[in-house]
Every structure is written in C-alpha cells, then in structure tokens.
C-alpha cells in the first residue's frame, strides 16, 4: 500500500484500490490553490480554520465540521482567510466506480456543494480515520467507502441536479473530450474549435460557462492529472514534466503546486 506524507501533506493511495485517493492537510499555513477541477468526484471535511470555498459562481465560508462536495469537472477553489492556518481531508472517487456502487449506469451529480450536517461529518471523519490508519487492509477500506457512499444521497436529503441533460451543448463535451485525449500535445484554439464545430470566440465563452475554466486552463488541469498518475508510478519528476507537455521541470512544478497545493515531491513522498 502506498502512503505518503510530510508534516502538512499526507496522501493516501492503495494499489488495490486505484479508483480512490485521499489527502490530509494538518495545520496548513500558506496551503493555497488556484482555480482547478478534478475528473473524479471529490468530498472533503474541514477540521480546522476558516476558509472561502468558491465553486462556480457561488461562494461559501466554511469552517470545522463543514463538508464540501465537488462533482467531476466542476471548477472550484478553496483557500484560508487572511493566510490563516487550516486543516482538512479530501477523498477522491472515480466517477464510473461510484456510479456502479450506486447501481447507476452513469454518474449522477451530487447537490448541494456544502453540508453542515454533524452526523454526516462524523461519519466522514471516521471514514478518513480508517483510510489513514496503516492497519486497515484494502478489503476493509473498500467496504467502508462503499458503505459511506451508498448512504450519501440519503444523508444529504436533496435530489441531485442532473446537469448532463440540462441543455448542455453537445459540442462542448466534444471539445472537452478532445482536450482530455490530447492534453499532453500542443493544441491550438482553432483546432479545438474545428473539432466541435464552434467559432473560437464562442467556444471560449461557452466552455468557461460550462466548465468554469477556459480551454487552455482545462488543458493544463488535465496535464496535471496526467502528471499525478505518472508520479504515482514512481517515474522521475523531470520525465513526467516533459511527457505531460511542459517545457521543463520548473514549469511543471509551478503548475502542479497551483493545482494540487503541494509539490510533486511532496505528492510522491512515502511513509
């Protein structure tokens, strides 16, 4: 089982459970993000400090006991107020795996983006305790995660918004899929526009309205996701940087820290 940590950053991964990843930040000073998104579903628990959580056009002030939820490809940013210390834990679950857990053919988005339910926060906190306990085996971990997600919608008490059918322009999905498939290659806006049949100017406006990021920012985000997967394989940072499409290791490291709030070395480090 692969586990990595520093004083502030702890990353949990288990090769037997590649559809799951978790991270923990304790007493984090200066742990800040830029706007980004994840291909996975993300759920987190704030355990200390006060932070500003922005998702789409909404802004929430979150503190200890607050749960935050992010659907795949929802652009968001969460940073502590006035550079104060804060603590939190995040769990990332593959969307297709989560849909299967719920007995669905495809992933259904969750709502709302924030919950203050103390019972749910307690359940999530106990789940993180299991994840970061080195004595918990793979089978026990997956059983606990499945049990948590099986009751999550009921605990939230809100029917999820099905954004997939809400008037979304199919061309934007074509653009996003094309960027994802070719994220490590140089892409011109004109090439992306040609694939989806939209004008470049309309594509930029509509893409940002749908995904919260411009096509270029979305590509950088996807390059970081590619880099994380390659780093998990133990590849050297410089090789990953070049294969991900960055000019050099320094450029990759700056972008990585902006998106992950940790350096590639911190992300790779193991206990």
Give 128's contacts (C-beta < 8 A, 6+ positions apart): 22, 24, 45, 89, 91
**What is the percentage of the chain residues whose pLDDT exceeds 70?**
91
What is the pLDDT at residue 6? 43
For the chain, the domains span 3-156, 167-268
Of the candidates 260, 14, 267, the residue with the CA atom closest to the CA atom of residue 130: 14
Rg value, the chain, Cα: 18
What is the pLDDT at residue 141? 94
Out of 48-52, 159-163, 225-229, give the one with best mean pLDDT: 225-229
What is the pLDDT at residue 29? 67
- For 248-259, the pLDDT digits (tens) are 999 999 999 999
What is the pLDDT at residue 143? 94
Instruction: Please check the confidence at residue 31 and state whether its pLDDT lies above 90.
Output: no
- The residue with tokens 């929802």 is 74
Q: Name the pLDDT band for 165 (thresholds 50, 70, 90).
A: very low
Q: What is the pTM of this model?
A: 0.79
Class of domain 3-156: mainly beta
Q: Cβ(27)–Cβ(8) under 8 Å?
A: yes
Q: Name the pLDDT band for 96 (thresholds 50, 70, 90).
A: very high
- The residue with tokens 């103390």 is 118
Instruction: Please check the confidence at residue 3 and state whether its pLDDT lies above 50.
Output: no
What is the pLDDT at residue 158? 54
- The residue with tokens 């090439």 is 191
Instruction: Please check the confidence at residue 13 and state whether its pLDDT lies above 60.
Output: yes
Phi, psi (deg, nearest 5) at residue 257: -65, -35
Which of 25-29, 106-110, 204-208 is least confident?
25-29
Class of domain 167-268: mainly alpha
């Amino acid at each position: 089982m692969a586990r990595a940590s520093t004083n502030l950053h702890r990353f949990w991964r288990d090769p037997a459970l590649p559809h799951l990843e978790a991270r923990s930040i304790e007493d984090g000073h200066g742990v800040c993000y830029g706007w980004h998104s994840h291909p996975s579903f993300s759920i987190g628990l704030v355990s200390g400090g006060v932070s500003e959580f922005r998702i789409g056009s909404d802004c929430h002030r979150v503190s200890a006991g607050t749960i935050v939820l992010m659907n795949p490809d929802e652009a968001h940013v969460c940073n502590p107020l006035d550079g104060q210390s804060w603590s939190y834990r995040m769990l990332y679950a593959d969307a297709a795996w989560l849909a299967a857990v719920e007995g669905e053919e495809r992933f259904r988005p969750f709502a709302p983006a924030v919950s203050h339910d103390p019972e749910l926060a307690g359940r999530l906190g106990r789940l993180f305790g299991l994840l970061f306990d080195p004595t918990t085996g793979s089978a026990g971990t997956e059983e606990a995660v499945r049990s948590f997600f099986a009751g999550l919608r009921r605990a939230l008490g809100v029917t999820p918004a099905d954004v997939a059918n809400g008037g979304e322009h199919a061309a934007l999905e074509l653009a996003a899929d094309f960027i994802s498939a070719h994220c490590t290659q140089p892409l011109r806006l004109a090439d992306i526009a040609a694939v989806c049949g939209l004008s470049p100017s309309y594509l930029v406006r509509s893409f940002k309205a749908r995904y919260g990021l411009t096509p270029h920012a979305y590509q950088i985000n996807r390059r970081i996701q590619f880099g994380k997967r390659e780093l998990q394989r133990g590849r050297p940072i410089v090789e990953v940087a070049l294969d991900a499409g960055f000019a050099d290791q320094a450029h990759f490291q700056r972008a990585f820290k902006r998106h992950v709030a940790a350096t590639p070395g911190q992300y790779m480090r193991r206990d």
